[in-house]
Amino acid sequence: MKKLLTIFSLLLLPLVTPVQAAGGYGIELKPAENNLRDQDSLQRGAILFSNYCMACHSVKYMRYNRIARDLGWTDEEVVAKMTYNQNRVVDNVMTRMLDGVAMDVMGVEPPDLSLMSRLKGTDYIYTFLTEYYQDEKGNWNNHALKGTSMPNVLEGIQRHASPEDYAQAARDISNFLEYAGEPAKLERLDLGWKVIAFLLVLLLLTYLLKKEYWRDIKH
């Protein structure tokens, strides 16, 4: 019985761990409330990402032509909007920063953001982007990542746009990064329903077949 209980509690462990992990940031994460089906938001997020993040960060597993296809742009539009025609449509989405510069300037290499949404979640990215504050000495710090070497890159929007527009910008960027983390996510979710519907129909058919086979047999 004891053994059974141990096994049972071990099975429950994966359900408990993410909750504990979420508490590990030392701050309550704010919900990003982003929506992968909102293509306008994804388009805005991609452009904001290009303007505010690509100076330091890559999303090296994405190519511009894939982004164009998924976000409803033509090949010409994507390179115009995201690279000011500086890249080819088959290029990967690489930072504009030259090798080694980040190390010299910030003492740390900005991480590639392809899988950041999978690693830390969109709520974390949204919270991180919107939790910059200035301490008494006027130095910028961040509640989600204390002492971070990333500057408050959205400061311009934070100062000059309304709080709603500022939150929306962070939401759009988080949305784009969730998309980049798994570009086929919507296809996967939509296909999932079709597969389950197919299996249900199959279940009905096999049940009817079984009844047919056993019809004349007494049991």
Q: How far is the CB of 5 from ligand HEC (least distance, A)?
A: 37
The answer to whether 126 and 132 are in contact (CB under 8 A) is no
Comparison of 18 and 111: residue with beta carbon closer to ligand HEC: 111
The Cα–Cα gap between 136 and 159 comes to 18
Residue 66 or residue 174: which is nearer to ligand HEC going by CB? Answer: 174
Other Cβ atoms closer than 10 A to 3: 7
* Residue among 156 and 192 whose Cβ is closer to ligand HEC: 156
The residues binding ligand HEC (CB under 6 A) are: 52-53, 55-57, 106, 108, 110-111, 113, 116, 120, 125, 128-129, 145, 148-151, 153-154, 173
Q: Shortest gap between Cβ of 35 and ligand HEC (angstroms)? A: 18
How is residue 209 written in tokens? 């077949």
Q: How far is the CB of 153 from ligand HEC (least distance, A)?
A: 4
| Nearest distance in Å: CB 151, ligand HEC | 5
Q: Centre a 10 Å sphere on the Cβ of residue 1 and count the other Cβ atoms it contains.
A: 5
Q: Please, what is the minimum distance in Å from the beta carbon of residue 173 to ligand HEC?
A: 5
Which is closer to ligand HEC, CB of 79 or CB of 116?
116
- State phi, psi for 36 to the nearest 5 degrees: -65, -20
> Smallest distance from the beta carbon of 154 to ligand HEC, in angstroms?
6
10 or 98: whose CB is closer to ligand HEC? Answer: 98
Q: Which is nearer to ligand HEC, 75 or 183 (CB)?
A: 183
Dihedral (Cα; 45, 153, 134, 21), 10-degree rounding: 60
